[in-house]
């Protein structure tokens, strides 16, 4: 099975309806994961841990796609 790197990260947003971080120096890097399933599990754990803060958001970035510009981006990569 091919391993495809995924980065899970998050932080407090300026506005919950947008994806701009309040302070990029405070971004929480959860970690790098070898497959989407383990990245999703880590994302879900962090999202549930911070559920009481409406401004906190966690994302999964498909790092393997950075090497393949022909692959269409997913909504989790569209941060701006």
pLDDT of residue 64: 76
- pLDDT digits over 30-77, tens only? 999 999 999 999 999 999 999 999 999 999 999 877 765 565 665 555
Q: Which domains can be identified in the chain, with CATH numbers? A: 6-67 (3.30.70.2400)
Measured CA distances, 68 to 4, 31, 72, 75 (Å): 12, 21, 9, 16
- Comparing 74 with 11, the larger pLDDT belongs to 11
Give how far Cα 51 sits from Cα of 37, 44, 58, Å. 21, 10, 11
For the entire predicted model, the pTM comes to: 0.76
Cβ atoms 26, 50 nearer than 8 A: no
Which pLDDT score, from 0 to 100, does residue 20 have?
93
């Amino acid at each position: 099975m091919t391993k495809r790197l995924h980065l899970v990260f998050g932080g407090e947003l300026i506005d919950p309806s947008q994806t701009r971080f309040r302070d990029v120096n405070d971004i929480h890097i959860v970690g790098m994961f070898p497959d989407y399933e383990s990245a999703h599990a880590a994302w879900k754990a962090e999202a549930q841990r911070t559920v009481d803060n409406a401004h906190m958001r966690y994302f999964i970035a498909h790092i393997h796609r950075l090497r393949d510009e022909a692959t269409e981006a997913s909504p989790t990569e569209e941060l701006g």
